[in-house]
């Protein structure tokens, strides 16, 4: 396995020689949503992450898994409810959410990255109190149950894993100061951890090629430009929370955030090197 991974990593270097300049740098990859539905894409993403780590690039993965949570809840006879895109998390839904995210999805991704040639360890935001969170309410004050937002993020557990040669794979289950579990939106968990780690870039893998402006796909956007495009209706629907999470990563201290399509070949390498063609949209500071 290691020999094949080394060979494939060399192939990546042939295609993206700029990768050598990024050895030792931290990158956060957020992977979830519809982009996780294809087994072929999931394998390709995990294999590429493993290959990049063998080249000395330090990658942390934060994942979601909303569709798998909904399928599990349906099997359990628990109906899913959402308000403004946030899951209303009852105690029953919280138990299933933690089981799916910190269990099945987390361990599947950690196993796939390990099989790809880089040893990965799956943890949740509850481990070592990585994500301390507080309950949140909906935009009109609606009760969202055990849904939360990250208040404090400790990067020490993740740094320790990386320093010892492991790829951290993080489930976005957080907890309150007294240990009550909370369901945190994975995009916002990724933004918080990206800021705490001081990563070079926070890469949001989605099922779209990037952000479309008035004249097509945008290569680069600032938070101010995003506000304008939202105000005039150019950015709408499901793209709004995507760009808002990218801006959150910027405001948390990350130099840039990239929204790109997980199905594009070698997408993480393209995002890291900002190679032309399929590298998505970078949201950058002014």
* 82-83 and 256-261 strand pairing: unpaired
Tokens encoding 115: 């099989």
User: pTM value?
Assistant: 0.93
Residue 133 lies in a domain: yes
Give tens-digit pLDDT for 124-146: 999 999 999 999 998 899 999 99
**Percent helix / strand / coil, the chain, rounded to 5:** 45, 25, 30
The per-residue pLDDT for 252 is 85
Question: How does residue 3 score in pLDDT terms, banded at 50, 70 and 90?
Answer: very low
Name the domain count of the chain: 1
The per-residue pLDDT for 226 is 94
Mean pLDDT of the chain: 92
Residues 160 and 181: their CA atoms lie apart, in Å, by 23
Residue 56 lies in a domain: yes
Residue 88 lies in a domain: yes
Residue 271 lies in a domain: no
Q: Is the pLDDT of residue 4 over 60?
A: no
Three-state SS for 228?
A: helix
Residue 269 lies in a domain: no
Residues 19 and 25: their CA atoms lie apart, in Å, by 10
Residue 276 lies in a domain: no
Helix pair 156-163, 186-197: axis angle to 10 deg: 70
Give tens-digit pLDDT for 22-61: 999 999 999 988 889 999 999 999 999 999 999 999 999 9
Q: What CATH code is carried by the domain that includes residue 76?
A: 3.40.1160.10
Q: Which domain holds residue 162?
A: 2-7+22-205
Tokens encoding 137: 């309410």
Hunting for tokens 């309150």 — which residue is that? 176
Three-state SS for 3?
A: helix
Residue 84 lies in a domain: yes
Residue 178 lies in a domain: yes
């Amino acid at each position: 396995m290691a020999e094949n991974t080394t060979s494939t990593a060399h192939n990546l270097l042939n295609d993206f020689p700029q990768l050598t300049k990024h050895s030792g740098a931290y990158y956060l990859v957020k992977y979830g949503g519809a982009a996780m539905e294809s087994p072929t894409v999931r394998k390709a993403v995990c294999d590429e992450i493993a290959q990049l780590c063998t080249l000395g690039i330090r990658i942390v993965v934060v994942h979601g898994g909303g569709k798998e949570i909904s399928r599990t809840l349906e099997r359990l006879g628990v109906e899913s409810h959402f308000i403004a895109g946030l899951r209303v998390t009852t105690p029953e839904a919280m138990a299933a959410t933690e089981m799916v995210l910190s269990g099945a999805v987390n361990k599947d991704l950690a196993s796939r990255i390990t099989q790809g040639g880089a040893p990965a360890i799956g943890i949740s935001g509850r481990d070592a109190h990585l994500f301390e969170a507080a309950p949140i309410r909906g935009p009109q004050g609606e009760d969202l149950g055990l849904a939360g937002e990250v208040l404090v993020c400790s990067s020490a557990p993740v740094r320790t894993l990386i320093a010892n040669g492991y790829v951290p794979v993080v489930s976005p289950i957080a907890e309150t100061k007294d240990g009550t579990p909370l369901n945190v939106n994975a995009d916002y968990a990724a933004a918080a951890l990206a800021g705490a780690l001081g990563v070079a870039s926070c890469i949001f893998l989605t099922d779209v090629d990037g952000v479309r402006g008035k004249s097509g796909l945008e290569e680069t956007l600032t938070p101010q430009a995003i506000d304008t495009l939202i105000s005039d209706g150019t950015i709408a629907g499901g793209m709004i929370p995507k760009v808002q999470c990218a801006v959150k990563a910027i405001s948390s201290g990350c130099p840039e955030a990239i929204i790109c399509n997980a199905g594009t070949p070698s997408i993480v390498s393209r995002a890291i090197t900002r190679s032309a063609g399929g590298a998505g949209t970078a949201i950058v500071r002014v």
